[in-house]
């Protein structure tokens, strides 16, 4: 089914939208989640949360390319699960348990200032990526957005692994210089 | 600023850039292997030449009764074989020159050809990722000056590590490629004692790949 028709189902609050999404993008979303979480169960949970997030966000959103929209949701949810899992792992000592309790006094880091800074950073990175060659941009996005392995990135970008590693190294260095120039504290 | 913020910011990348990579993940780019194609062409050329040499014996000169036929054939064809080898070396150099022009478009300069000779250095120290060396002679490479200290980072195809150990104080040729904005850091696929060793290694490796 085409993306427009699936989005239409969401807007009509037709629950078959979830089934159509799962049939068309289930494997794609699972791969994104697994790249981050490396755990089948957590990936399954992440993808299910993605369907729920999609259901809750459409309407009002009406994405033209559903794969990218859902991919972003999955990525964000998976990273949140990963961070939560890591925090739980650190609960091994009384010290870390106490720290965790104190965390109740604080926000989860999603302050408006934080979100604004992330948005500014995103704009900066978008501008930076557009200055790169196609190969450099694609390897960067493949590695750090999709979180594919360097080997996979090299394969689908049509280059050797060593070239991909070198491109990534240079791009990271250039990004660091660019962010410094734009006034971000590193 | 930490990596969490950058990871979160990447979630706000423009959709068109993400879609471009999505397309690649479904339909990957095909990697054209210059070395592989040249090696195949060289093998075909040798086979065709061999066939002509074998069936063209009607035109061969008369041998003296005392001479060994095999020696005479070798004598006659030696010059042609030498020309064949020279042309395959030139093919490698041409390929590297083409790679250079591609690299120049991307802002890199690759020194794997006769147009860009390697730099001759003395090894000063080793570290986990590479070595530091002092330029003894620029060897006409034009990118480095004598007595300049270089940081060399090993590429993945670092064949020299599997051959005789290089020692501090050794004088070697370093084949490099550098970024036009970052001249002080150079990568190498090969460090060799003798300049011609590099081209010979590449030729052998290409032949091995074809025969596998």
CA distances from B162 to B152, B166, B190 (A): 17, 10, 11
Q: Which chain A residue has its CA at the smallest distance from B156's CA?
A: A162
Phi, psi of A169 (to 5 degrees): -60, -45
Interval A90-129: pLDDT, tens: 555 555 555 555 555 554 556 777 788 889 999 999 999 9
Phi, psi of A180 (to 5 degrees): -65, -45
* B61–chain A nearest CA distance, Å: 50
> Which one of A67, A119, A179 has the shortest CB-CB distance to B12?
A119
Q: Please enumerate in sequence order all residues whose Cβ is within 8 A of that of B199, keeping only pairs 6 or more positions apart, or say none.
A: B89, B92, B93
> Which one of A72, A141, A179 has the shortest CB-CB distance to B17?
A141
Does residue B199 surpass a pLDDT of 90?
A: no
Does residue B91 surpass a pLDDT of 70?
A: no
Q: What per-residue confidence (pLDDT) applies to B37?
A: 73
- B13–A contact, CB cutoff 8 A: yes
Across chain B, the runs of DSSP E, i.e. the strands, are: 108-110, 119-127, 130-137, 149-154, 171-179, 182-192
State mean pLDDT over A87-92: 61
Rounded CA separation A146/A30 (Å): 12
Q: Which chain A residue has its CA at the smallest distance from B155's CA?
A: A162
**How many residues are present in chain B?**
212
- A181–B contact, CB cutoff 8 A: no
Q: Please enumerate in sequence order all residues whose Cβ is within 8 A of that of B10, keeping only pairs 6 or more positions apart, or say none.
A: A122, A125, A144, A145
Interval B64-81: pLDDT, tens: 444 444 444 444 444 444
Indicate yes or no: CB of B18 within 8 angstroms of CB of A145.
yes
- A148–B contact, CB cutoff 8 A: yes
Q: What per-residue confidence (pLDDT) applies to A4?
A: 92
Contact criterion met (CB below 8 Å) for A47 and A60: no
Which ipTM was obtained for this model?
Answer: 0.84
Of residues B189 and A2, more confidence is placed in A2
Indicate yes or no: CB of B13 within 8 angstroms of CB of A148.
no
- B11–A contact, CB cutoff 8 A: yes
CB neighbour class for B103 (10 Å; exposed up to 12, middle 13-18, buried from 19): buried
Q: Give the number of other Cβ atoms within 10 Å of residue B133's Cβ.
A: 28
Interval A27-50: pLDDT, tens: 999 999 999 998 889 999 999 999
> Which one of A130, A138, A161 has the shortest CB-CB distance to B156?
A161
Interval B124-136: pLDDT, tens: 888 766 778 888 8
Q: Give me Rg for the CA atoms of chain A.
A: 19
* A4–chain B nearest CA distance, Å: 16
> Which one of A125, A130, A155 has the shortest CB-CB distance to B10?
A125
Q: What per-residue confidence (pLDDT) applies to A135?
A: 93
Contact criterion met (CB below 8 Å) for A118 and B9: yes
Tell me the residues of chain A between 43 and 82 that have a Cβ less than 8 Å away from chain B.
65, 67-69, 71-72, 75-76, 79
- A63: closest CA among A21, A122, A123? A21
pLDDT > 70: what percent of chain B?
Answer: 43
Contact criterion met (CB below 8 Å) for A63 and A71: no
Contact criterion met (CB below 8 Å) for B49 and B80: yes
* B170–chain A nearest CA distance, Å: 26
């Amino acid at each position: 089914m085409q993306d427009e028709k699936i989005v239409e189902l969401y807007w009509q609050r037709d629950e078959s939208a979830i089934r159509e999404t799962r049939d068309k993008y289930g494997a794609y979303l699972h791969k994104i989640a697994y790249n981050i979480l490396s755990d089948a169960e957590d990936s399954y949970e992440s993808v299910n949360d993605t369907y729920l997030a999609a259901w809750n966000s459409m309407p009002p959103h009406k994405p033209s390319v559903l794969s990218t929209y859902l991919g972003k949701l999955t990525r964000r949810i998976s990273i949140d699960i990963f961070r939560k899992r890591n925090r739980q792992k650190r609960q091994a000592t009384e010290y870390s348990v106490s720290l965790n309790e104190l965390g109740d006094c604080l926000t989860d880091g999603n302050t408006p200032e934080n979100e604004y800074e992330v948005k500014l950073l995103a704009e900066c990175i978008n501008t930076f990526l557009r200055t790169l060659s196609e190969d450099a941009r694609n390897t960067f996005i493949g590695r750090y957005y999709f979180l594919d392995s360097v080997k996979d990135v090299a394969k689908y970008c049509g280059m050797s692994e060593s070239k991909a590693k070198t491109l990534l190294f240079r791009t990271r260095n250039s990004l660091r210089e660019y962010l410094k120039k734009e006034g971000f504290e590193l | 600023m930490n990596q969490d913020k950058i990871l979160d910011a990447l979630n706000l990348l423009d959709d068109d850039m993400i879609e471009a990579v999505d397309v690649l993940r479904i339909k990957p780019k095909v990697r054209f292997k210059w070395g592989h194609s040249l090696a195949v062409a060289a093998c075909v050329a040798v086979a065709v030449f061999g066939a002509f040499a074998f069936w063209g014996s009607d035109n061969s000169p008369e041998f003296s009764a005392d001479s060994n036929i095999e020696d005479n054939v070798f004598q006659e064809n030696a010059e042609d074989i030498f020309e064949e080898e020279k042309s395959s070396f030139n093919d490698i150099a041409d390929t590297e020159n083409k790679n250079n022009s591609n690299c120049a478009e991307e802002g890199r300069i690759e020194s794997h050809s006769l147009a860009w000779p390697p730099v001759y250095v003395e090894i000063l120290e080793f570290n986990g990722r590479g070595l530091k060396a002092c330029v003894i002679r620029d060897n006409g490479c034009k990118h480095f000056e004598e007595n300049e200290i270089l940081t060399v980072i090993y590429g993945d195809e670092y064949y020299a590590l599997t051959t005789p150990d290089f020692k501090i104080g050794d004088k070697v040729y370093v084949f490099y490629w550098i970024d036009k904005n970052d001249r002080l850091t150079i990568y190498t696929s090969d460090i060799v004692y003798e300049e011609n060793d590099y081209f010979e290694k590449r030729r052998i490796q290409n032949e091995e790949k074809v025969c596998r």
